[in-house]
Amino acid sequence: MLLTVAIIGAPHGLKGEVRLDLRTDDPARRLAVGNVLETEPADAGPLTVTRTRRAADATYVIFEEARDRTAAESLRGVRLVVESDEDEGDEDEGWYPHQLVGLRVVHVDGRELGTVADLEHLPAQDVLVVTEPDGAEARVPFVAELVPEVDTDAGTITLDPPRGLFAADPVEDEPDDAGSGRAEGRA
């Protein structure tokens, strides 16, 4: 399976440099000088990295095959892809959507919460998109406090979400302990 490393954006300057929309958690390895990357569509590549730099929270690259602005413009929207490594996706490296989509999502208490529909890579953190049994979608920050276990062999992800995150577990159903045992008014 092919994984997207980055999507080529707008040219930057006149010498073929392009801005990348990164989709990898290891850009230093994937975009190292000399690396040859396959592309989607395939006829746009392969592309050889000749320079990579970071500036103002952006990554810029020059490819051997696109040495001027016109050639760089023709690459806009092209995906840089690599073949999936089976070893990728352990807890230290992160997860790819194809490894999680379709897994059953269960609450720590055993209740079925739904199925993973997607994994969104956002700037702050990854977010699991879960389709609930009624068709509603819930977005769960992919952090250890809320996602204590991912078991791809068993086909499950265990969540410990706060009340209200899922439609089937609304906050309004929470018991009202604050008023119990107190007098309503005083004379």
List the structure tokens of 63. 């490819």
Residue 181 lies in a domain: no
The mean pLDDT value for 27-44 works out to: 88
Strands (E), 12-154: 18-22, 36-40, 47-55, 58-63, 79-83, 104-107, 112-121, 126-131, 137-141, 149-151
What angle (nearest 5°) sits at the alpha carbon of residue 136, between those of residues 102 and 2?
Answer: 30
List the structure tokens of 116. 């993973």
* pLDDT exceeds cutoff 80 at 35: yes
The mean pLDDT value for 154-170 works out to: 88
Residue 92 lies in a domain: no
Tell me which of 42 and 178 has the higher pLDDT: 42
Residue 187 lies in a domain: no
- Residue 140's nearest CA partner among 111, 164, 161 is 161
- Residue 3's nearest CA partner among 105, 91, 93, 74 is 93
Residue 177 lies in a domain: no
Sheet containing strand 137-141, strands side by side: 137-141, 126-131, 112-121, 104-107, 156-159, 149-151
User: What is the number of domains present in the chain?
Assistant: 2
Q: Hey, CA dihedral for 143, 144, 149, 150, is it positive or negative?
A: positive
Residue 186 lies in a domain: no
List the structure tokens of 158. 């265990």
pLDDT digits (tens, 9 = 90+) for 37-54: 999 888 988 999 999 998
Residue 144 lies in a domain: yes
Q: What is the CATH number of the domain that holds 126?
A: 2.30.30.240
**Predicted model pTM:** 0.49
Q: Which domain holds residue 102?
A: 97-170
pLDDT digits (tens, 9 = 90+) for 113-147: 999 998 887 766 788 999 999 999 999 988 888 88
Domain end among 61, 83, 105 = 83
Which residue type does 68 have?
D
Residues 14 and 48 both lie in one domain: yes
Residues 68 and 118 both lie in one domain: no
Residues 39 and 107 both lie in one domain: no
Residue 6 burial class via C-beta count within 10 angstroms: exposed 0-12, middle 13-18, buried 19 and up? buried
Residues 155 and 120 both lie in one domain: yes
* pLDDT exceeds cutoff 90 at 153: no
Residues 68 and 101 both lie in one domain: no
Residues 110 and 163 both lie in one domain: yes
Question: What is the average pLDDT value for the chain, to the nearest integer?
Answer: 82
Q: Which residues of 63-74 are buried (b: 16+ CB within 10 A; e: fewer)?
A: bebbeebeebee
Which residue type does 8 have?
I
Residues 50 and 102 both lie in one domain: no
Q: What is the CATH number of the domain that holds 27?
A: 2.40.30.60
Residues 54 and 105 both lie in one domain: no
